[in-house]
Chains A and B, each alone.
Chain A
Amino acid sequence: MMAAATSELQEIRRRAAESFETRGYPTKRDEEWKYTSVSAIAKAQFPAEAPSLTGNSLRTALEQHPGLIEEHLGRYASSEENAFVALNTAHFEDGAFLHVPRNTVVEEPVWIDYTAVPDRTTHPRNLIVVGANSQVRIVERYRGSGRYFTNAVTEIVAGENSVVEHVKLEEESAQSFHVATIQVHQARNSNFKSHNISFGGLLVRNDVNAVLSTGCEGTLNGLYLATGKQHIDNHTALDHAAPHAASHELYKGILDGISTGVFNGKIYVRKDAQKTDAKQTNKNLVLSPGATINTKPELQILADDVRCTHGATVGQLDEEALFYLRARGIGEIEARDVLIYAFARDVIERIGIPEIREYLEKALFERLVFSRQSSGGAL
């Protein structure tokens, strides 16, 4: 526990502990967890430890500017709605803290890098506060080795007129459990972009939620690649709480082996959120007969002057596109790789950090080749 925690923060943490105590881990009976069983996580019971990270420590920051942190920490991610947020809020020991003052443009992307060790539970807790008229790009990366459980929560406050881009790279080990919530609060006229990339982990669950104020633009993009027995679950929620906001969402999944992909995207348009423009797309590419995909795009609309659409598709590689490539002398394996790559690139090329784009393109190709060599699959 953090020594410097102020009484109000202590109260939030105590309530979170209480909330988890009474409700425990979610089960498949919870609509939010209908397709994802976390019993393996509950059973594992790895001892908790402070996370090891590179980046500004939240623990240190709490000692230096308690007021600033007190104002935001634990105020956005809801312990009542998500048991893992409650668990994190109650038990986190450290994480990253980033504060961008008003009218500041941060040129270089800010990196937050976590490396997990075997047989441990960590509760990384990140707080990112971006002042009015500021601009910043953040990369949050999770890696590790062996079996372990990472339960991360990131709260992002995008101030008025700010432009914030956030990339989450989940590259956990093949046996690990990873649960993460990204909770975004967007102030007036802010522009927020999230890129949620999931490659690793045996059991992965991401919750990305954004609340939009007047004039905001929110973008949630995601890419998930699952092979072997991997289970990757992405839940997103865009809450149009005020008028004149626009949101765009594109999630793409590639599933191989006997993996499972889950997507649930919610768009809420509150009563007064007129002139909302929301678009959500989920596309899934299923490469092997054993893979499963469950997708549930949801719209809940309580205002009339809005434009909302969502679409979801599940399909395979286009036979005609394959034929086209093969007719031009490209081998079958390479042709498949090209099509899979093109499918994923759609998400990758939207990332505004060139080095991350390059890194991901390379990583994607490596995974294609590696997966084929090791298992005969295409991923």
Chain B
Amino acid sequence: MASQLSSIETLANQEYKWGFITDIEADTVPAGLNEDIIRLISARKNEPEFMLEWRLKAYRHWLTMEEPTWANIHYPPINYQEIIYYSAPKTNKDRPKSLDEVDPELLQTYEKLGIPLHEREALAGVAVDAVFDSVSVATTFKGKLSELGIIFCSFSEAVRDHPQLVKKYLGSVVPPSDNFFAALNAAVFTDGSFCYIPKGVRCPMELSTYFRINAKDTGQFERTLIVAEDGAHVSYLEGCTAPVRDENQLHAAVVELVALNNATIKYSTVQNWYPGDKEGKGGIYNFVTKRGKCLGANSKISWTQVETGSAITWKYPSCLLMGDNSVGEFYSVALTNNYQQADTGTKMIHMGRNTRSTIVSKGISAGRGQNTYRGAVKILKGAEGARNYSQCDSMLLGDKCGAHTFPYLEVKNTSSSVEHEASTSKIGEDQIFYCRQRGISTEDAVGMIVNGFCKEVFRELPMEFAVEAQKLLGVSLEGSVG
């Protein structure tokens, strides 16, 4: 890809310009974490002074923090000095030359999901020189967006081209001191997405990293910032249904959303990173901090997530409902199979008057998977007339898996009303029997029933995502029945 190559070139030139002399390869830094590494990352990325200061402050704070242990997940201790914190986008020579060199199991999955051939190549990280459809689509899209004044670019570009905006909003929702992984991310994040929707603009299309060609290889510490000005409206898609080839084990991303008066942000995630093999070896640790701030009156932030991948998923997309009449929503499907673990949920903090929130969470456990819903609903003193409705349902497939629910409801205002409901169930033998009678195989029947169970969440997904998500559940559940 031309733009990628040229950005590598620029990076290389910059190194010399800033006078860094290191005896290592041009596009990686040594493993480990210290202030020099952070300075190096910042310099490589040609960042302004304030960013470096911000990173160092975060790093110094991180040093004083302890890794949290309260989550209902288990993993061997992570050695933070063994991780390589910066590597520039891969050159074509490191990638598989063609699909023939790619893991056949991965290809089978693509086949089942019905992914077009050239997209498979991109997903598997095959070096593609030819400009294929989606790239040209991306360019057309970019033109359209800039006409409307929408800024949609990589984080590095944003730091370079819109430092004022970045300075104003970076860390305003998830401050670097927020938690252990957010601090780590703030210190070492390499790239991510930045999106700014100006006043009164309704983004004409679903924004997706998939269309931002330079989004590839943003590394394990990603940072996303979306700002919707007064009356703006945007729908953002993250991830994709196909399993993504990735060597990094720890992913500690941060996502910040800011919605001003009357603005709406819809953030949809489909996460299907490598979950490890059937014995639970390998797999991605997905420790993410996602938070949205409904700063303005009548603003709305809606999170939708389908989490089927990763060995461990640990994330709580949250909403700070500060503006009066603001609305927070959280729709989630989390599926754990084999040895996967998920501890996920949301936090709805009601501060403004007449704020409303809805939580719908569906957890499916199969194999030896452990699925935890952990959510907090806080109604603070000033949140007159606040309302919350939460529902979290779990489904268990097999007798070796587990489902756990930990909802925290804290109410400090009497004019508010809070409801929480949870249930756990399994697929009834009578349901399977009914399907089998009608010639539907057990596996398909389970797929159908599970999809029905998740329907309330899938309904919230953008159309094309919803279709893929259904197929994805089927594929992820394979081997868990009969």
A310 touches B421 (CB 8 A): yes
A299 at the A/B interface (Cβ < 8 Å)?
yes
Q: Are A304 and B399 CB-contacts (below 8 A) given A299-B404, A315-B417, A316-B417?
A: yes
Expressed in whole angstroms, the Cα–Cα distance for A314 and B407 within the complex equals 14
B419 touches A311 (CB 8 A): yes
Q: Are A307 and B420 CB-contacts (below 8 A) given A289-B414, A299-B405, A314-B409?
A: no
A11 at the A/B interface (Cβ < 8 Å)?
no
| Chain B residue contacts of A287, Cβ below 8 A | 414
A296 touches B407 (CB 8 A): yes
Q: Are A314 and B399 CB-contacts (below 8 A) given A296-B408, A296-B409, A304-B426?
A: no
Q: Are A308 and B423 CB-contacts (below 8 A) given A274-B399, A299-B403, A303-B399?
A: yes
User: Which chain A residue shows the least CB distance to B365?
Assistant: A304
Expressed in whole angstroms, the Cα–Cα distance for A303 and B409 within the complex equals 26
User: Which chain B residue shows the least CB distance to A262?
Assistant: B410
Expressed in whole angstroms, the Cα–Cα distance for A297 and B421 within the complex equals 9
CB distance from B464 to the nearest CB of A (A): 33
| Chain B residue contacts of A297, Cβ below 8 A | 405, 407, 420, 422
26 A-B residue pairings within 8 Å (CB atoms): A31-B70, A271-B400, A286-B414, A293-B409, A294-B409, A295-B420, A296-B409, A297-B422, A300-B402, A301-B396, A301-B403, A301-B404, A302-B402, A304-B426, A305-B426, A306-B396, A306-B424, A307-B425, A308-B424, A311-B420, A312-B407, A312-B409, A312-B420, A314-B417, A314-B419, A315-B419
Select B417's contact among A294, A304, A305, A313, beta carbons within 8 Å: A313
Select A293's contact among B70, B411, B422, beta carbons within 8 Å: B411
Select A313's contact among B400, B403, B418, beta carbons within 8 Å: B418
CB distance from A33 to the nearest CB of B (A): 14
B308 at the A/B interface (Cβ < 8 Å)?
no
B422 touches A305 (CB 8 A): no
The proximity string for A residues 172-210 relative to B, scoring 1 for CB distances below 8 Å and 0 otherwise, is 000000000000000000000000000000000000000
CB distance from B449 to the nearest CB of A (A): 14
Q: Are A291 and B414 CB-contacts (below 8 A) given A298-B406, A301-B402, A305-B399?
A: yes
A288 touches B409 (CB 8 A): no
Q: Are A300 and B399 CB-contacts (below 8 A) given A291-B414, A311-B421, A315-B418?
A: no
| Chain B residue contacts of A291, Cβ below 8 A | 414
| Chain B residue contacts of A299, Cβ below 8 A | 394, 403-405, 422, 424
Q: How large is the interface on A (under 10, 10 to 19, 20 to 34, 35 or more residues)?
A: 35 or more
The proximity string for A residues 331-354 relative to B, scoring 1 for CB distances below 8 Å and 0 otherwise, is 000000000000000000000000
A60 at the A/B interface (Cβ < 8 Å)?
no
Expressed in whole angstroms, the Cα–Cα distance for A310 and B421 within the complex equals 6
A286 touches B411 (CB 8 A): yes
Residues of A within 8 A of B (CB): 31, 35, 271, 274, 284, 286-289, 291-316
**Chain A interface, >50% SS class:** strand
Beyond A287-B414, A306-B426, A314-B409: 20 further Cβ-contacts under 8 Å?
A292-B410, A293-B411, A294-B409, A294-B410, A294-B411, A295-B411, A298-B406, A299-B394, A299-B403, A299-B424, A300-B405, A303-B396, A303-B399, A304-B399, A304-B426, A306-B424, A309-B424, A313-B418, A314-B379, A314-B418
The proximity string for B residues 27-48 relative to A, scoring 1 for CB distances below 8 Å and 0 otherwise, is 0000000000000000000000
Select A289's contact among B394, B396, B415, B426, beta carbons within 8 Å: B415
B416 at the A/B interface (Cβ < 8 Å)?
yes
CB distance from A286 to the nearest CB of B (A): 4
User: Which chain A residue shows the least CB distance to B399?
Assistant: A304
B462 at the A/B interface (Cβ < 8 Å)?
no
Expressed in whole angstroms, the Cα–Cα distance for A271 and B411 within the complex equals 34
Expressed in whole angstroms, the Cα–Cα distance for A335 and B480 within the complex equals 56
B401 at the A/B interface (Cβ < 8 Å)?
yes
Q: Are A301 and B414 CB-contacts (below 8 A) given A306-B424, A312-B407?
A: no
**Chain B interface, >50% SS class:** strand
| Chain B residue contacts of A305, Cβ below 8 A | 399, 426
Residues of B within 8 A of A (CB): 70, 379, 394, 396-426
The 5 A-B residue pairs whose C-beta atoms are closest, nearest first, are A304-B396, A286-B414, A299-B405, A308-B424, A314-B418
Expressed in whole angstroms, the Cα–Cα distance for A313 and B389 within the complex equals 9
| Chain B residue contacts of A288, Cβ below 8 A | 414
| Chain A residue contacts of B421, Cβ below 8 A | 309-311
User: Which chain B residue shows the least CB distance to A279?
Assistant: B423
Expressed in whole angstroms, the Cα–Cα distance for A271 and B399 within the complex equals 7
| Chain A residue contacts of B417, Cβ below 8 A | 313-316
Select B422's contact among A294, A306, A310, A314, beta carbons within 8 Å: A310
| Chain A residue contacts of B407, Cβ below 8 A | 296-298, 312
| Chain A residue contacts of B401, Cβ below 8 A | 302, 304
CB distance from B360 to the nearest CB of A (A): 15
CB distance from A190 to the nearest CB of B (A): 24
CB distance from A121 to the nearest CB of B (A): 31
| Chain A residue contacts of B400, Cβ below 8 A | 271
Expressed in whole angstroms, the Cα–Cα distance for A314 and B411 within the complex equals 8
| Chain A residue contacts of B405, Cβ below 8 A | 297-300, 310
Expressed in whole angstroms, the Cα–Cα distance for A289 and B414 within the complex equals 5
B422 touches A289 (CB 8 A): no
| Chain B residue contacts of A312, Cβ below 8 A | 407, 409, 418-420
Expressed in whole angstroms, the Cα–Cα distance for A287 and B379 within the complex equals 16
Expressed in whole angstroms, the Cα–Cα distance for A298 and B417 within the complex equals 20
User: Which chain A residue shows the least CB distance to B406?
Assistant: A298
Expressed in whole angstroms, the Cα–Cα distance for A291 and B426 within the complex equals 39
Expressed in whole angstroms, the Cα–Cα distance for A284 and B412 within the complex equals 12
CB distance from B450 to the nearest CB of A (A): 14
B420 touches A309 (CB 8 A): no
| Chain B residue contacts of A306, Cβ below 8 A | 396, 424-426
B398 touches A304 (CB 8 A): yes
Instruction: Find the residue from A31, A300, A301, A316 having the highest chain B CB count within 10 A.
Output: A301
Select A296's contact among B379, B394, B397, B406, beta carbons within 8 Å: B406
CB distance from B244 to the nearest CB of A (A): 31
Expressed in whole angstroms, the Cα–Cα distance for A299 and B394 within the complex equals 10
Expressed in whole angstroms, the Cα–Cα distance for A31 and B425 within the complex equals 27
User: Which chain B residue shows the least CB distance to A306?
Assistant: B424
Expressed in whole angstroms, the Cα–Cα distance for A31 and B421 within the complex equals 22
User: Which chain A residue shows the least CB distance to B414?
Assistant: A286
Expressed in whole angstroms, the Cα–Cα distance for A313 and B391 within the complex equals 12
User: Which chain B residue shows the least CB distance to A261?
Assistant: B411
Expressed in whole angstroms, the Cα–Cα distance for A284 and B394 within the complex equals 25
Instruction: Find the residue from B407, B409, B421 having the highest chain A CB count within 10 A.
Output: B409
A295 touches B409 (CB 8 A): yes
User: Which chain B residue shows the least CB distance to A287?
Assistant: B414
Expressed in whole angstroms, the Cα–Cα distance for A315 and B423 within the complex equals 21
| Chain B residue contacts of A313, Cβ below 8 A | 417-420
| Chain A residue contacts of B399, Cβ below 8 A | 271, 274, 303-305
| Chain A residue contacts of B420, Cβ below 8 A | 295, 297, 310-313
Expressed in whole angstroms, the Cα–Cα distance for A307 and B408 within the complex equals 22
Instruction: Find the residue from A293, A299, A300, A309 having the highest chain B CB count within 10 A.
Output: A299
CB distance from B71 to the nearest CB of A (A): 12
User: Which chain A residue shows the least CB distance to B72?
Assistant: A300
| Chain A residue contacts of B424, Cβ below 8 A | 299, 301, 306-309
CB distance from A101 to the nearest CB of B (A): 40
User: Which chain B residue shows the least CB distance to A272?
Assistant: B399
User: Which chain B residue shows the least CB distance to A283?
Assistant: B419
CB distance from B429 to the nearest CB of A (A): 9
Expressed in whole angstroms, the Cα–Cα distance for A108 and B399 within the complex equals 45
